[in-house]
Structure formats: structure tokens, C-alpha cells
Structure 1
């Protein structure tokens, strides 16, 4: 008997949950269609065409009506866009994951990368983590408990290395107070470090008080190597899901270049050329700094010069994600304010509040209010100007045929009138400002829809802000 091929049943399915995670560098490469390497936007030819392998390469989609996408061949309306990727010459801290990065560094040994817990504690916490349906607050409390235990322990149980406090220092910098000694514990590693300066202290006594303040700078490259060495069995104890992202993914080694449709180039009629989006310009700056670091590394430039370029690259990557960073040094502060990804999402004008939860809609208006003692308790006065704009789609029937004909003859400028008419057979709206309204009125048939002005007696929903409870929005009768 031949084994039948498995086929999924074509039935509707319900989404149980959404899992947010971090993309690894390999996943970014698989998702992307092109590697972006060129810092220039356009080629120098007469056509002013986007440069291949540049930030505006049309293989990442299109932002122009007359140019199709070079990946899928679709036009602006149908192409969803395609990602590109950009490899960084040196890794950088992710500004959004910076707090989480410091949190993990406080829990692991800075020499062997194993978590600072005993075997018994590991087993105890793992048993607790294996419980199904753990609530968010329980996980949060457990993470705090693990973190507190790890931070109190100064000697690693795996390699016996000394671990000091890990702190944030300035903008996107992490320090490890490895050589800070206490009276109780003097590690042999710290004593060796102190002895190595004996000769220097003999020649200059001012060096001795500074030794206790010596710190280890944990740059992104060092942190990335630490995170890569974290044992696989220790990752759940950091309250991380290995399937959603590993600790090494918290450090940026590769950036996703978004499709052109979310950062379109605007062609200006007043001046020649185009106005580029903030994200596009920030990406060109990152590529330029990348090239500078690559050149300095190849030519063997001073370490100080490479470190300065690296700091600037980190700042640009941070501004690309969140342009409202605090604590930027004056010499590195950007001249012009730009919008990062965070600014596109948060706030009143962001995607959630501005475009998803609340958006501009038809058949609504707003104005100031004032009392009128001449109205009934269930009436609200509406200005004629508003009544001409806000319409009600009324279907033509035997009872209202003559009224609808009168409204169509009046048109959009005379109240009471009508703005549009929609034929029952053809799904096309006709604007009544133009054309022979007398003829249109005579041709009205039962079933046609006339979008007429608001008139006395219409029932409309009125809202008084702030809308705190359901009584803020109530139905009232219109009085023009």
C-alpha cells in the first residue's frame, strides 16, 4: 500500500499568541534580498538613477509610481517592499536592549561567562521555571531573585575569578569595577594587578591612589564574545527563550535596511533633486562611518582614532533607532533633529495613537460649544456650514421621492441640499456641483442613494471631550 501524502486541512485557525523576539544576524541575511554596501544614493549619470547596492536600490521595493520593483516586478500599489542588510565593521550596543545587556552582565562571570549560581540554586530555579503557565509578574520576581543572588557573589564558582559591580558609564558605555578591593576580600588577581605597578609607584607616588579606581571597559566586542560563551543550559536562567533570541543577539553586528516604501524619496518641484527620508540619511551616515573604520583598520591607524570612530558609529546606530537620546556629548550631538523608529511608533502622532487607535474619518466634525436656552433638552444646534459638509445617505423610496428631487436640485451649495448621488445599478458616486441637476433629479429611481445635508430632526451622536464614560457620547436631535 502506497503511503498517502500528508495534506493540511484547509480550515480556519485561531491565533493563540504572538511571540516577540530578536533576529539573529543569520535570520536577517535570510530575510534580506540585498546587501547594502554603497554610501552614495544616486549614480552620476544623466538619468539620476539609484546606485546599485546603495540605500535606495530598487531591489528593496519602489517609492515611485512609474518605476516597478526590481525584485518582484510589481508597482508601488502592490509591492510590499523587501529588506536589505548592512554588516557593521565593529559590533555596537542596541540602545533598546542596553538595560537588558547590563542586567545579563551582572548575572554572569566576566571571565568564563557562566551564571553566578551554585548547582543547587540552578536546579531549584530550573524546577520553578519548568512550571507551565507562569505569570509575567512571577517571572519578573524570579528574575530579580536570580539577579540579586548573582550580584552578591563576587567569586565565580566555575573558574574562581573575581567579579566586581557592572555599571553604566556615560552614553552607551559599560564599566566593570574589577580591580576595586574591599578589606574583607583581596583576590589574587587584584593583588597581581597591583604588584605590576610597583615600579611605576616608585617613580611616581601619585599613581598609587588611582589604582583602586581602575576599571575594565566592557566594549561591545568584549560583551559579544562573553555572550557567545554563555552555556546553552544557563540561558533559561537569564529568563530568555532561546527560540526567540539568544544573548548574543542583543548586540548589533548586522542592521536590517527597511524597504523603500516606508522611507520614500520626495521629488521637489521648487528645487532640482529629491528630499530623502531621515532613515535613509541615517543609513548613509552609518555606511560612511563603517567605511572609515574599515579604512583605518586596514591602514593601521591609531587605536584612539578607531575608538572615536567606533563611539560615533554606536551613537548613529542608537539615533537610527531612537533619536531622542539624552546625555549625548556636545561635540557628537546631531545638528538637525531626525525621526527614528521609536518616534514613528510612540506619541500622539505615532502609528498606534495617530494611525491605528485614532485616525481621520469621514462623516464627523468638531467645533466649540455654547449654551442656547431656546433649544429643547434633547436638541443640539448645528451650524449650516457643518450641515452642508456632513451628509446622511438616504435611500429613495415612494414616500420621499419628491423631497429627494428637491434636495438634488438645490445641490451642494444651498441648504437643504445634497452633495452626491449613487445610482442603484452603477457603483459610482456623482458629485452634484457639476452637471445638469434638473435632469439628474428627474432620473431618480427607487433604490438610489442620495447623500443629503443634515436637516432638522436627524438623530446624531454627539460627544463632549474628554470621553471618560459612556454618557460622554449621546444621541441628540439636530437643529440647524
Structure 2
């Protein structure tokens, strides 16, 4: 197909800014078309149809040419896909926001969720935040200042609760060392807590060294309740935009199920089955673990068993987002390496560098270059091998009809020739290597499209490697293709 000329739109618009945020659970529900609840992919019939409310439900789009989307009725080429959602039985930490979660916990009281600042400090920081055009580095420095002030304060000014340092402990676990003090003068609250173990120490001396390491486990459920109680006036002091996302959105309670077109099922040889995408398999594992936790809670299983299931669910949600996690225990490590969302986006083969910045396109090629004193400054010599493969789609008209017929007769092997011919009415493309070229040349009509070889005088765009800079592309005239062979 001939590339159309770029034309600017009539309406002049300017993008003011881009804002990245987090979707709340309610926004996910509104965006999605169905709730995914079934862990099975296909129904047990002979037709191999996807199960309703399963991960492959065709209401989320289609990945097959012969099956239309059940939501919009469009085929694979036209349907953009539709989202689904699945609710988690227990909340989980988001692996991408884990550092941010710990950062917020260090700044708030772990009892009443108020930010650990005095009224004067709050006003002072708010005045600074209201300044227009604050640079990124200034905001980053301000966040560090607020965080340092909050971490130095051990007693909450609102509820007088004692607060200690918050740390990461193992894989996706957070602990609050509530009774740990670095001061020489021990706080009355801590001393009361330590005295309550006097009788226990008399009977068991091993308890005494462990008292200073008394910790409070901040699991996702506790953290979610803390984040939900953070007041609206404190959110800007955490350097968060309430319109783009609230602290509670950092914890996963609901997952978006992506459309089928980005995780297609590949039918294997002899239609013996299908190979499912990594994301599809990971989603089925998450739904399966959800069902296990629900069953254990209903039957009153041991807390230890539910906690193990919860840890495993958390790990699967983390691997779904980023599959290159380090520090996974051997008993929980996945047997097969999969590609998470992070792996699809980052790196040389990812979406940004691989598919958006650099693309494989038609009518392009590359070769080694060398200087030639016989060429003009606006000319470039193209090797005959490249000239035969890189074609120019030329429309047949009265002026070039005879030339096009000669090129069609020469075919793809003789330069200058032609590789393909496309009929104006039927749009059928024919390869000229096979068939009667003499007959095809006689049947050539005005309006047909001939994909001919590059010839002298063609204008081509040239760019030197590494081709990262758009401005280095220049137009040159093709010359010296195979030393001017006369086959016209």
C-alpha cells in the first residue's frame, strides 16, 4: 500500500501536561466489562469453547480470526479489546509500589494514621508545596525533609501512641519495631511494656534478649486499613496527588484482567490443544489461590495454613507484574520462568524500545557504506542486490505504460525489473517470478500498481547508523545501480 502524505489537523491543540496515576478498585470495576471468577479456561464440550466468566471469555475481545468479540461484535483486526477484573480474597502488596508503601508507613502513625508532624510544620510544608512550578528535584528534597522529621518523632501528637522504625523484612513483608529505642533514656511506655515480661523472664531466661526485638507485623490488611484512614489534608504532605491516586490504591484488592488480544492463545499443531500466554496462566493461578483461601476461611482451617496461602497469593501477584523478583524462597520459587508486565515493557526487546521507538517497516533496508569520488554530493550508490529487493510502488499512467511493461517483462531477477503487480480493481497482488510475464505485461492497465526495482534518479531517504536521531535523515538520489546496466 502506498504511504499517504502526512497532513496536520485543522484544529491546533497543545498538550498541557501528562499525569500518571493509580486506578482505584472502583475505577477498575467501571472500566471492566465482566468479573472473572472461573479458574478453568475451556468448557468440557468437544467444541473447545472458552468458559463464560473465565480468563479467556470472548467478551474481553478475541485472539482468533474466525471468532468475533462478544462485546462489540468486531473481528480481531478491529476490536481493541475489553478489560475484565478479578477480586482478591485478601489484599496484597503491589511489588512496584512496595518502596512507596514503606515510605508512607514511616511518615504516619501506625495507630491513628495521622502524619507525624506538628501543626506549625504542616503549615510550613503546605505553604512550600503551594508554590507554582515546583521542580521534580525540589519535590524530592521536600519529601526527604518531611520523612526525616516524621521518623525522628517517636510519639504521635494526635493519639500519643508509640511509633518505632518501619522496615522491609524478607520478601514483600513489612515489620514495625514498635518498642525499639535508640535513646539512652528509655521511654515510660517502653519500660512498662518490658516490665510486663518480668515474671516470664524469671521462668525462662531466653525471653530477655528477644524483648528488644519485639516486632509488629504489618500485613497488607493492616496497611490497607491504615491507608484508608489517612485524612485528605495529610495526603499532599505525603507528596501525593489525591486526584491521581490515594494511598489506599497502593495495595492491590482488585486486579484488572487485560484483553485477549495482548495475551493470545496459540493453537498448536494438529489442533491437539492450545498454548496459553504467560499472563493467562498466571491469572488462572491467582484465581485458583483465591478459591483455596476462600475454602479454607469457610471451613475454619488453621491460621498458619491461611497465612501460607496468603503469602503464595502475594508472590503470584508480584510475579504477574514483575517476574524477575529476587529472594524467593526455594519452596515457593516458580518452576518455569514467565514474562510479567515489566518484562514486556522494559529493555531492548520491550514495547518502548522494541515496538514503539524502533519498528520493522516495509520498503527499507541497510547496507555497508563507503566513499566514491565519482558521485555527486546528493547522490548515493545502491548495490544491485538491495535495488532488486527494495521496490518502489509506481502507479501506471499513459506516460509510463511502456516502461512499466518492459519492467514487468524483466521480472524480479533482472534489473531494472519489477517484483509485484497489484490490480486496481481487485487489489490482488501477483508475484512476477512465476507465470507468463509477457501476458501480464500486455494486460497492464492504467491505475494498476507496479512494485518496481530502484532505478537511477529515484529519491531515497538515507540515515547513518546508529539511527537514533531523526534529523540525520537526508534525501539522496539513487545512482550507479550495477554500473548502468542497459535493460530498459
Contact kept, 8 Å, 1:265 with 1:276, in 2: the verdict is yes
Structure 2 residue runs of 5 or longer lacking an equivalent are 480-488
Is the Cα contact below 8 Å between 1:33 and 1:59 reproduced in 2?
yes
**In 2 relative to 1, CA 320–8 (structure 1 residues): closer, same or farther, beyond 3 Å?**
same
Report the more deviating stretch, 114-123 or 376-385: 376-385
**Alpha carbons of 1:346 and 1:215: their partners in 2 closer, same or farther (altered >3 Å)?**
same
Contact 2:2 2:393 in 1 (8 A): no
The Cα shift of 1:32 comes to 1.5
Instruction: Identify if the C-alpha distance between structure 1 residues 265 and 113 changes in structure 2 by more than 3 Å, giving closer, same or farther.
Output: same
How many residues of Structure 1 are paired with residues of Structure 2 in the alignment? 479
Residue 355 (structure 1) shift: 1.2
Change in 2 beyond 3 A, CA 1:427/1:16: farther
**Secondary structure of the corresponding residue to residue 97 of structure 1:** helix
**Pair 329,413 (structure 1): closer, same or farther in 2 beyond 3 Å:** same
TM-score (norm 2): 0.88
The 8 Å contact of residues 93 and 252 in structure 1, kept in 2 or not, is answered as yes
Question: Cα distance 1:334–1:370, how it changes in 2: closer, same or farther (>3 A)?
Answer: farther
Aligned mates of 1:278, 1:404 — CA distance in 2: 50
Aligned to 1:111: 111
1:75–1:423: structure 2 CA closer, same or farther, 3 Å change rule?
closer
What is the DSSP-based 3-state SS (H/G/I as helix, E as strand, rest coil) of the residue aligned with 2:56? coil
CA distance in 1, matches of 2:8, 2:243: 25
What is the CA distance between 1:212 and its match in structure 2? 0.8
1:180 CA displacement: 1.0
Q: Distance in 1 between matches of 2:362 and 2:432?
A: 18
User: Compared with structure 1, are the counterparts of its residues 317 and 208 closer, same or farther at alpha carbon in structure 2 (3 Å cutoff)?
Assistant: same
Give 2:175's aligned residue.
175
How far, CA to CA, are the matches of 1:3 and 1:265 in structure 2?
32
CA 201–8 in structure 1, closer or farther in 2 if over 3 Å, else same = farther
Instruction: Give the 3 Å change call, closer, same or farther, for CA 275–6 of structure 1 in structure 2.
Output: closer
> Structure 1 residue 146: deviation in Å?
1.2
Q: For residues 61 and 161 of structure 1, do their structure 2 counterparts lie closer, same or farther at Cα, with a shift above 3 Å needed?
A: same
Distance 1:7 1:373, change over 3 A: closer
Shift of the 46–39 alpha-carbon distance from structure 1 to 2, 3 Å rule, reads: same
RMSD: 6.3
Distance 1:82 1:355 in 2: 22
- Rounded Cα–Cα distance in structure 2 between residues aligned with 1:472 and 1:7: 22
Contact 1:162–1:187 at 8 Å: present in 2 too?
no
Unaligned runs of 5+ in 1: none
1:113 and 1:458 map into 2 onto residues whose CA distance is 70
- The Cα offsets for residues 304-344 of structure 1, whole Å up to 9 and x where unpaired, read as 22111111111100000111111212221111111111111
| Preserved contact between residue 395 and residue 447 of structure 1 (Cα < 8 Å) | yes
Distance 1:251 1:9 in 2: 42
Shift of 1:372: 8.0
* Superposed displacement of residue 176, structure 1: 1.2
- Structure 1's 276 and 153: CA in aligned 2 closer, same or farther, altered over 3 A? same
Q: Deviations over 1:29-68 (max 9, x none)?
A: 1222211111111122222222222111222222222222
Task: Name the SS for the 2:95 alignment partner.
Answer: coil
Name which of structure 1's ranges 3-12 and 410-419 shifts more when overlaid on structure 2. 3-12
Deviation at 1:259, TM superposition (A): 1.4
Specify whether residues 299 and 7 from structure 1 end up closer, same or farther in structure 2 by C-alpha distance, changes over 3 A only: farther
Task: State the shift of 1:117 in Å.
Answer: 0.6
Alpha-carbon shift at residue 435 of structure 1 (Å): 4.8
